[in-house]
Amino acid sequence: MNSIPSVNLKDFLSSDSTKKQEFIDKIGHAYENIGFVALKGHFLDDQLVEDLYTEIKNFFDLPIPLKETYEIPGINGQRGYVSFGKESAKGKKEGDLKEFWHFGQYVASDSKYAKEYPENVDVKELERFNEVGKKTYQMLEKTAMYVLRSLALHLNLEETYFDQYIINGNSILRPIHYPPIATEPKGAERAAAHGDINLITLLMGAHGKGLQVQNREGQWVDAMAAPDELMINVGDMLSRHSNNKLKSTIHRVTNPPKELWGTSRYSIPFFMHPISEMKLDVLENCIDENNPKQFEDITAGEFLEQRLKELGLKK
């Protein structure tokens, strides 16, 4: 597979059972073969997208010393600002050429998860930044829920199987700024080759060249979405849970050609995480004599902890 298939969520939400099944088959086939799809028909409207890009550009344009006041010690970068070069891909010593912000889950104050999750960080200088971030988070979370429902059916599970694990899940919305490149990077990329940790990732901003996906033959394929599409990929948690039936694909963001070094790039992934106690044990119906169990039993919380250490975000 040398291109990213496009699907429309409205087909899955349709009362037409044929359209719904076609969506399930198409997205299931894509995730078994390349691990990425481009999705139309999501819950983000054009105005919300425009507002979000305005707000995140305003934030990243703030002076560095001011941005650094929003880098909160002791929470391993899970909320607020993470400064340039702090994160690196697993097994890579060079930091990625990016800075980013984290919006996290919004839980009721009496929820048991209120103690587990750090609080979201308010940016005092930008009146609408947090409001627009929260609305985007909720619309992407809603979109992700229906994508997971389609995958549950593809895996011969009950349609709402994942709902119990993603309500109040430890999901993250990450606006990323890849600043202009001033000097020749020494072995560093905007985002080095990596797989995502979580269940699925919904990406805004894959409209220009840069994002590449590695196919089964080891070739790098450009992953470009239309302006009204989200790029959605499988993460390592879902790959483990499905015994690698659904593929967590290695991907990267390459540095632009030298003539474009002076330009910024923005992308906004939403990392759909479950609650920490979800068991990622391999599903029984994904094991057979040709596909023996490939992964040890582990919870989502344990797996996340392990990976944050590998990424250098947690000591």
CB 243 within 8 A of CB 295: yes
Q: What confidence tens digit (pLDDT) does each residue in 102-148 have?
A: 999 999 888 999 999 999 999 999 999 999 999 999 999 999 999 99
Distance of CA 240 to the CA centre of its chain: 16
* CA 194 – CA 92 distance, rounded (Å): 10
Q: What is the CA radius of gyration of the chain?
A: 19
Query: And the tokens for 308?
Result: 């944050």
Q: Which of 270, 276, 304, 246 is nearest to 166 (CA)?
A: 276
Q: What confidence tens digit (pLDDT) does each residue in 72-111 have?
A: 988 888 899 998 866 555 655 566 678 999 999 999 888 9
CATH architecture of the domain with range 6-310: Sandwich (2.60)
Q: Which of 48, 250, 226 is nearest to 138 (CA)?
A: 48
Query: And the tokens for 295?
Result: 């992964």
Instruction: Provide the pLDDT for residue 272.
Output: 97
Q: Please report, for the chain, the start and end positions of each structural domain, with discontinuous segments joined by +.
A: 6-310
Q: What confidence tens digit (pLDDT) does each residue in 244-299 have?
A: 999 998 888 877 777 778 788 888 999 999 999 999 999 999 999 999 999 999 99
* CA 241 – CA 33 distance, rounded (Å): 17
Q: pTM for this structure? A: 0.90
Q: How confident is the model at residue 66 (pLDDT cuts 50, 70, 90)?
A: very high
* CA 242 – CA 196 distance, rounded (Å): 15
* CA 234 – CA 151 distance, rounded (Å): 10
Q: How confident is the model at residue 1 (pLDDT cuts 50, 70, 90)?
A: very low
Full DSSP string of 32-57? HHTSEEEEES-S--HHHHHHHHHHHH
